[in-house]
Structure 1
Amino acid sequence: MKSTKPNQPAKPTFTGYEVFVIAILAFLQFTVILDFMVMSPLGAILMPQLKISPAQFGMAVSAYAFSAGASGLLAAIYADYFDRKKLLVFFYIGFLIGTALCAMATNYHFLLGARIVTGIFGGVIGSVSMAIVTDLFKLEVRGRVMGFIQMAFAASQVLGLPIGLYLANHYSWHAPFWLIVAVGLVPGIIIVLKMKPVTAHLHLKNERTPFEHVGNTVSNSRYLMAFLTTTLLATGGFMLMPFGSAFSVNNLGIRQEDLPVLYGVSGVFSFVFGPLTGYLGDKLGKYRVFVGGSILTITMVAIYTNLGVTPLTVVIAINVLMFAGILARMATSSALISAIPQPQDRGAFMSINSSVQQFAGGLAAFLAGHVISEGPDKKLHHYSTLGVIVIASMLAVIVMMYFINRQVSRKLAANVPQPAREMKAEAFVIE
């Protein structure tokens, strides 16, 4: 916030339109995240009803991720050559159609195909949204913006998952997908009617053809570390989350009807943690908060994946702390990585980065389905092995994010004249 004269009111951090953009993108992300998140609690219902194995269920989760990754690479070719609003609307319409197909699925192979269609369109929405955020908001406040948008993660738990599980338990597993389609129409219509075009990147000089542009983005040595870091960042959620409900019911002894309480309470706390971690990242340093969130997550994952039958209140407490760490990692890592690309490369960079994330996540879910097995008593075996893999990836990412942070601070220092340079660099670098 800029300094003002004593008698002048302080200028707000965000304008009214910027608040609208944050809110509508968060609403949009809510529907997309819910579409992915709902697969996890539905696992305990889908596997017995469709008579599929954990490996097949893991493939259903991976199908979304692999198709999302492929479409992201294709979208990267033209991402910086179109109005970002038009791209967002196009892919969101396709996402809603894919989700409707999931709702109409009658067997495993129909569902698998529907997940592929949903992934083709849904996987690009996040990258376009992040490109819009990067275009409209400065890095100094981007942590808060990312934190607010990540509230969609919490909202999908507080509102979406409990309602979705209730519908699945009392009607059928198709009902949550119809819910997503119905709710998803709202932000789509608002964006079409109220959101302004996002075209500033079109005025930047770029004499390369689309294919040359994406080729240079992929091969840019300054971007490769970010892509590699994103690869490992995706490991945790895609390995543990798809089997979370089955593990809770069959291993921890949580009743199926108590799952909405588990996810709902965790989500309520996440409403606080999302904006708070983003704010702390802007004030204390994004890398500092990322490390703190990683340590907390590692601790909770080590405890959670080794639990036996556990009281619901204890499982809720562990989930609340684990999601606090996850949100801290998500908000701060997204803000730092978004600062890496040059303005004319943002669309391609974000699309490629999203593709890398989806491919890595799809592979992680696929491998997780083969690491764990289901015993005669329906308990999942080797879930603790997944915990070890996730912890190892988080430790590696802490080191990699250190170099991402150094790269961002050098870029920031190069663009800020003295004497403000040292002051701004302190916000991002740990000495």
Structure 2
Amino acid sequence: MQAQQPPVPFTGYQKFVIFVLAITQFTVILDFMVMSPLGDMLMKSLSLQPRAFGIAVSAYAFSAGISGLLTAGFADRFDRKKLLLFFYCGFIVGTVFCGMAHSYVALVAARIITGLFGGVIGSVSMAIITDIFSLQQRGRVMGFIQMGFGASQVLGIPIALYLANLFRWEAPFWMVAAIGTAAVTAIAIYLKPITAHLAIQKDKSALLHLWHTAAKRDYQVGFAATALLSIGGFMMMPFGTAFAVNNLKIPNADLFKLFMVSGLSTLVIMPVVGKLSDRIDKFKIFMAASVWTMIMCVVYTNLGPTPLWLVMILNVLMMMGVMSRMVPSSALTSAIPDMADRGAFMSINSSLQQIAGGIAAVVAGMIVTKKTNYSPLVHYDVVGYVIVVISVLSILGMLRVDKLTKKKMASKNVVMPEAEAVLSEGM
């Protein structure tokens, strides 16, 4: 494979931006992902069937998707720092409501509120990344930002499980709210206003800007590819803990070990994949990771009672594929929108990602069944086969994104003008 240009170094301010966005990513991911390790506890304590739990998980995703679409037209009309502060504060409030919930109905309502704000944070962060970092840097940036996923498993989920077992299942949400409060304070004090995009706005109406962004054919290719990738990525997650406890026969007391080992592997994998994405062809990395993911998903979903050590190994191997798809796909998709459309594009893209994830959770809940609270899940293997089909479609979709990105980069300098300005200011 042909090597690209040497990586462009980060400035001190860029390193701060990476750190603070990684923290916000950590809290948002932990808030969403903690529903999975709490799944077995919730289904048993509230006597929920998989379908009901799937609705509880998808409530966040659907509200996040709707919120993203409603705010997409406004995403490029305000200082991105102010947008991030507004939605992150709302996310913290929603998480507090989750901690105060004492019934299934109250929990679903709180998850909807949290999703309305939390679902927009990722798109605002992506727009900030695209404004501040050149395409040559974004693979590494995505690698570090996506480390929030691994950190949530290494630190967040084990601590959350410990707190849930020590107190109640509401405790992890209070922990997320506390971390989020510290992060929003750092953003308010140290993050500089991000307003360069305001000078080049053409649409007078927010609704018109949303329509023009959604109607562009090249952008639609990116939206479709992201949606397919999200459906495949979300289908296994809601019932992962219940499958481990009831099918693989992993004791609840050992779940934190499984998450910790998987998370540690992610912390090692993500930066490596990020560097490789900046040095070699991003699509080839994505395709190889997708094929590996398909193989491991089929193997994992067909397991029966399995020793913990073997489950850990297989889980790490599967996560290698799943997470290695995220970095190159995010970097490729970020190159599609023009500067004037980035906020709207990222909002729509994030919304479709959330809605697709919600659909995946609902569909998985319809496929997976169980007779009693303590009986094994049935048809979880079918979920693995569905993921294979969707992954093939994802490869085809990302191939089109890759062609669009290379075509666009060939028509302009690899380092964007706005990124050059940021770099020169920091030197």
User: Aligned-pair distance for 1:219?
Assistant: 0.9
Alpha-carbon distance in structure 1 between the residues aligned to 2:343 and 2:214? 12
What is the TM-score normalised by the length of structure 2? 0.94
Q: Which residue of 2 aligns with 1:231?
A: 227
Contact 1:157–1:266 (8 Å) recurs in 2: yes
SS of the aligned residue for 1:324 comes to helix
Alignment match of 2:410 (pick from 388, 408, 413): 413
Alpha-carbon distance in structure 1 between the residues aligned to 2:352 and 2:212? 16
Q: Which residue of 2 aligns with 1:340?
A: 336
Alpha-carbon distance in structure 2 between the residues aligned to 1:204 and 1:120? 28
Which residues of 2 match residues 360-379 of structure 1 at below 5 A?
Answer: 360-376=356-372, 377-379=374-376
Alignment match of 1:310 (pick from 306, 312, 315): 306
Alignment match of 1:219 (pick from 186, 199, 215): 215
Q: Which has the higher contact order (CA 8 A, sep 6+)?
A: 2
User: Aligned-pair distance for 1:12?
Assistant: 6.8
SS of the aligned residue for 2:168 comes to coil
What is the TM-score normalised by the length of structure 1? 0.93
Equivalences, count: 411
Unpaired segments of 5 or more residues in structure 1? Answer: 4-9, 418-431
Alpha-carbon distance in structure 1 between the residues aligned to 2:337 and 2:61? 23
Contact 1:64–1:119 (8 Å) recurs in 2: yes
Alignment match of 1:387 (pick from 384, 387, 398): 384
Contact 1:227–1:356 (8 Å) recurs in 2: yes
Identity %: 52
Are residues 11 and 123 of structure 1, via their aligned partners in 2, closer, same or farther at CA, if it must alter by over 3 Å? Answer: closer
SS of the aligned residue for 1:373 comes to coil
Alignment match of 1:179 (pick from 171, 175, 191): 175
Alpha-carbon distance in structure 2 between the residues aligned to 1:337 and 1:149? 15
SS of the aligned residue for 1:381 comes to coil
Contact 1:281–1:288 (8 Å) recurs in 2: no
Q: Which residue of 1 aligns with 2:117?
A: 121
Are residues 11 and 149 of structure 1, via their aligned partners in 2, closer, same or farther at CA, if it must alter by over 3 Å? Answer: closer
Contact 1:147–1:277 (8 Å) recurs in 2: yes
Contact 1:102–1:115 (8 Å) recurs in 2: yes
Alpha-carbon distance in structure 2 between the residues aligned to 1:410 and 1:11? 21
Q: Which residue of 2 aligns with 1:426?
A: none
Contact 2:7–2:278 (8 Å) recurs in 1: no
Contact 1:151–1:271 (8 Å) recurs in 2: yes
Residue 109 (str. 1) matches residue 105 (str. 2): yes
Which residues of 2 match residues 28-427 of structure 1 at below 5 A?
Answer: 28-376=24-372, 377-416=374-413
User: Aligned-pair distance for 1:416?
Assistant: 3.5
Q: Which runs of 4+ in 1 moved over 4 A?
A: none
User: Aligned-pair distance for 1:11?
Assistant: 10
SS of the aligned residue for 2:375 comes to coil
User: Aligned-pair distance for 1:227?
Assistant: 0.8
Bigger drift between 37-46 and 292-301 goes to 292-301
SS of the aligned residue for 1:40 comes to coil
Contact 2:8–2:136 (8 Å) recurs in 1: no
Q: CA RMSD of the aligned region, Å? A: 1.6
